[in-house]
Amino acid sequence: MDKKKRVFSGIQPTNVPTIGNYLGAMRNWVTMQDESECLYCVVDLHGITIRHDPEEFRRKTRTLYAILLSCGLTPEKSVVYLQSHVSGHSELAWLLGCYTMFGELSRMTQFKDKSAKHPDNINSGLFTYPVLMAADILLFDTNEVPVGQDQKQHVELARNIAERFNHIYGDVLVVPEPVIPAVGAKINSLIEPSRKMDKSDPNPGAFISLTDDRDTVLKKFKKAVTDSDPSIRFDPENKPGVSNLMTIYSLATGKSLAQTEAEFEGRGYGVFKPAVGEAVDAMLAPIRDKTNMYLGDIAQLESMMRLGAERASAMSEPVLRRIRGAIGFVQAGD
């Protein structure tokens, strides 16, 4: 029997994920766990490059972990854990930082974007966090990394670091491949459909959070930007708002874009936008209910976190020993 591919992906606990995160990535994670050996991580270490309130950060971290479980990631099929609970992430980030070039990090698009957004806090963590992201991936001999198009650059950096390390020390690190969904990889803002939907958008009407209640979901879709042409057809260049809503509806219902076009032909936005809202609410309702259930029993939730961290640590230790050995460290037990 062929060995299952190992998959790793992570998400920051900065805000509640949006339907863009879910449809573009998280829902695919659930499918992947049936066919691959999967690790899914709340990357809380990445979340502290910007200033934050500790209690709020703790609450968001627990909520995100509960959401991951509620979306269908199960301990029976996947390793679901918090990044800060597995010390190998931080250790490997330092080791790999010594094999990462300054020029590589200075070209990272997100460093430039986040520096512009937080000019009063351009800290070294903001600059070096792509190395931590590479460590996240390489710590587990990861074969595939499901990412959105905007994160592909970081997986490419992980590949470059692994190949450089292997060139020096031999075949030590597995070189990962990015996996980008062919459909729905990018869900755009409801207010500015030329931009990606962002859970940190200052305008809450621009995104749908996975914990938004029914009334909020319907109101946001009712106000979603379309255009003056009432026809409902998929044309991203000329009708970006409508095309974005069609993509969301298609992914929420399982209907093709052609079927969606046919369903709403001649019916106008007054029918179409509420229908998208209803479809999204139907998709989110079970996730909301399960999230509330998990958050109602913090002791059980933290027990599941510990189990995930124990499993992730056990999987990472052989990789770390191999890396330390290659570099030349004297290891306990040698």
If you write DSSP's letter for every residue of 21-66 in order, what string do you get? Answer: HIIIIIHHHHHHTTTSEEEEEE-TTGGGSS---HHHHHHHHHHHHH
Residue bearing tokens 């992980």: 158
Query: What does the pLDDT read at residue 185?
Result: 57
Q: Which two tokens stand for residue 295?
A: 């958050």
Residue bearing tokens 């997986």: 155
Task: Give how far the C-alpha of residue 149 lies from the chain's centroid of Cα atoms, to the nearest Å.
Answer: 11
Distance CA 168, CA 327 (A): 9
Distance CA 121, CA 128 (A): 14
Distance CA 109, CA 156 (A): 13
Query: What Cα–Cα distance (Å) separates residue 34 from each residue in 117, 163, 185?
Result: 39, 29, 20
Residue (of 314, 264, 273, 327) closest to 88 by Cα position: 314
DSSP reduced 3-state for 9: strand
- C-beta of residue 195 within 8 angstroms of C-beta of residue 225: no
Residue bearing tokens 């879709």: 221
DSSP reduced 3-state for 159: helix
Q: Which two tokens stand for residue 286?
A: 């079970």
∠ Cα 89 90 93 (to 5°): 85
Residue environment code for 308-320, b if the CB has 16+ CB neighbours within 10 A, otherwise e: bbebbbebbeebb
Residues 75-99 have pLDDT tens digits of 999 999 999 999 999 999 999 999 9
Query: What does the pLDDT read at residue 81?
Result: 98
- One-letter identity of residue 321: R
Task: Give how far the C-alpha of residue 169 lies from the chain's centroid of Cα atoms, to the nearest Å.
Answer: 32
- C-beta of residue 121 within 8 angstroms of C-beta of residue 77: no
Query: What does the pLDDT read at residue 179?
Result: 87
Query: Catalytic residue numbers?
Result: 114, 196, 199
CB atoms within 10 A of CB 252: 21
Distance CA 57, CA 69 (A): 19
Q: Which residues of the chain have pLDDT under 70?
A: 1-2, 181-185
Q: What is the 3-state secondary structure (H, E, C) of 77-104?
A: CEEEEEHHHCCHHHHHHHHHHCCCCHHH
Residue bearing tokens 């062919």: 182
- C-beta of residue 179 within 8 angstroms of C-beta of residue 171: no
Task: Give how far the C-alpha of residue 139 lies from the chain's centroid of Cα atoms, to the nearest Å.
Answer: 18
